[in-house]
Amino acid sequence: MRLSTGIVGLDAILGGGIPKGYVVAVIGSYGTGKTTLGLHFIYEGLKNGESGIILSFDEDEESILRNAKSIGLSLENFKNLQIIRLEALTVKKSFERIESELPELIRNLNANRMLIDSISVLETLFSDHERYQILSSMKRIMKFSGVTAIFTSEADKYLPTASKYGILEYICDGMICLKMIRKSELDEPTLGLEVVKMRGIKHSRKPKPYMITERGIVVYEEAEVF
Ligand SMILES: Nc1ncnc2c1ncn2[C@@H]1O[C@H](COP(=O)(O)OP(=O)(O)OP(=O)(O)O)[C@@H](O)[C@H]1O
Ligand SMILES: [Mg+2]
């Protein structure tokens, strides 16, 4: 079974959406639309009567609702949405609490979609060794709870198709990369979306142009970036 991302062009690239139960990384540099893509995914579920959880390490609830509204997603109308804002530093001090409370929260809300925005903020606070454990633990919780999840992450400074710490892409079942592509320093950048991996699925790897508009993200799956 596939879960629609709420973005028509992206669903088309994926052949219908994200496979149920997958944990998918959405990576990109600042302002490329990672949070927006995640919000589309959550909103699509809410619209269909599903429940969703947004675990935010970046923006607070008010800012998430405001930004969603600016692209026409009225998240505030839904009771089956829970937005949790966590301070990464607090989580670091007691990661065991997340491990014990998050599955319970997902069960209580009967959530089947989850957005963690951004996981790289959390990763920043841990050493290489701990980072792998934290990410595997987060993925295990998602799998155990049966939710389909998007983890957003900053991209590597020099390699737009890699996550900041280079571990997330191995842990996740799929990875979507959002890139700002510049022909030259003087040109306006073109935004390109690339499905880098999606286990068990045949998909194009070609970067497809997308735009962020007042209706949110629009992916032009039949066009070429240049
Ligand atoms: N209503 C809107 N109309 C047009 N463009 C918008 C609108 N809202 C947001 N944008 C564009 O989307 C960008 C932000 O997208 P988003 O917050 O999803 O990016 P992000 O990758 O999560 O960024 P960050 O790394 O800072 O968290 C804005 O910088 C702006 O260019
Ligand atoms: Mg963001």
How many degrees, rounded to 5, is the angle at CA 109 between CA 75 and CA 33?
35
Q: Which ligand has the nearest atom to the CA of 191?
A: 1
pLDDT given for residue 182 in this prediction? 86
2-219 to CATH, choices 3.30.830.10, 3.40.50.300, 2.30.30.110, 3.40.50.720: 3.40.50.300
pLDDT given for residue 222 in this prediction? 87
How far apart are the CA of 117 and the centre of ligand 1, in A? 13
Q: Which ligand has the nearest atom to the CA of 32?
A: 1
Q: Is the CB of 187 under 6 A from ligand 1?
A: no
Q: Is the CB of 188 under 6 A from ligand 1?
A: no
Name, in order, each residue with C-beta under 8 angstroms of 178's C-beta and a sequence gap of 6 or more: 26, 27, 28, 32, 33, 34, 37, 191, 192, 193, 210
Task: Look at ligand 1, atom 31, and give the residue with the nearest C-alpha.
Answer: 31
The pLDDT tens digits of the residues spanning 137-161 come to: 999 999 999 999 999 999 999 999 9
| Prior bond of 118 cis (ω within 30°) | yes
Q: Are the CB atoms for 196 and 161 separated by under 8 Å?
A: yes
What SS3 class is residue 90? helix
For the cut 90, the answer to whether the pLDDT of residue 225 exceeds it is no
Task: Look at ligand 1, atom 3, and give the residue with the nearest C-alpha.
Answer: 214
Q: Which sequence spans correspond to the domains of the chain?
A: 2-219
Q: Which ligand has the nearest atom to the CA of 178?
A: 1
